[in-house]
Amino acid sequence: MSPYAADVYPIKPIRLLVGFTPGGAADFSARVTSRKMSESLGTNIVVENRPGAGGNISAQIVATAAADGYTLYWGSVGPLTVSPALGVKLGYDPLTDFAPIGLAVRACNVLAARPAFAGNTVADVIALAKSKPGQLNYATQGLGSTGHLAGELLRSMTGIELVPVAYKGGSEGITALLAGEIDLAFVSVTGVRAIGPGRLKPLGVTCARRDPGLSAVPTFAESGVKDYDATFWYGLLAPGGTRAVIIDKLNGAMVAALADPAIAQQLEVQGLLSSATTPAQFRDTIRDDYAKWKKVLARR
């Protein structure tokens, strides 16, 4: 590609791959952000859902695509940090086969307890778990899911033993929690909001900062688990080798889109926090999260 071609980029529609089915947080955040980006870039960004293998299939497609800025990836924690941390055989290297454009949005989960649970705080959970080793359980969506990761991080930082119970989806876990069939679950912010007060006990937010939609719920760090942070995110990436001028142009469009109050509000309603970063900052996040989850999961 000539320098001139890079300067006039883009001259045709851009393909944005999302590794999950339509309707979820990944798909929603990708569509809201890319729609606004299209306005400043002067071309359509076409979202293409290519689910499979927890997002790894779409990641591989982008990793091996032409580095011309016309095939992008809406990446997430799983394919870029958790799968390699678990030793999953991948057709790409998250640290070398992508050119990070910028982290876009962050998301928190909430540790919630069944209505009749004896404790009312994260500290209570830790104390109960220590007094009854291996007797408390929590719902997950399986190995490597956000709920499982949040629980494993808590275990590794406190030494407690919580028993993960896998459900086919988050809604099934919530149903079991509300029915009192399970003690705890890591529930999405929107899930807690939808259920409303009184039907479950929200004990702590997994992010380093409180969620604006649940401002009364403390973080784990505020509850005594210093430096606990199970923040999950989505971000924009291009194939490795994509020219810096293209990366910078895409980052500028993404940052502007996420700074729009209307866009930020749409995301916040869905429990997503507008959190645009530079390409370098996003690269550091991927590297740091990979190291964190590898350390946490290696202890299992």
Query: Looking at this protein, which amino acid is placed at residue 250?
Result: L
pLDDT in tens, 125-146: 999 999 999 999 999 888 888 9
Q: In this prediction, what percent of the chain has a pLDDT beyond 90?
A: 83
Buried b (16+ CB within 10 A) or exposed e, 109-136: bbbbbbeebebebbebbbebbeeeeeeb
Short-list 127, 110, 245, 256, CA closest to 184:
110
Work out the average pLDDT over 292-298. 92
Buried b (16+ CB within 10 A) or exposed e, 247-257: bebbbebbbeb
Query: All domains of the chain, ordered by start, with CATH?
Result: 3-106+231-298 (3.40.190.150), 109-214 (3.40.190.10)
SS3 2: coil
Better pLDDT: 190 or 67:
67
Q: What is the pTM assigned to this prediction?
A: 0.90
- Dist CA 223 CA 25 (whole Å): 27
pLDDT at residue 144, as a whole number: 84
Q: What are phi and psi of 131, to 5 degrees?
A: -80, -20
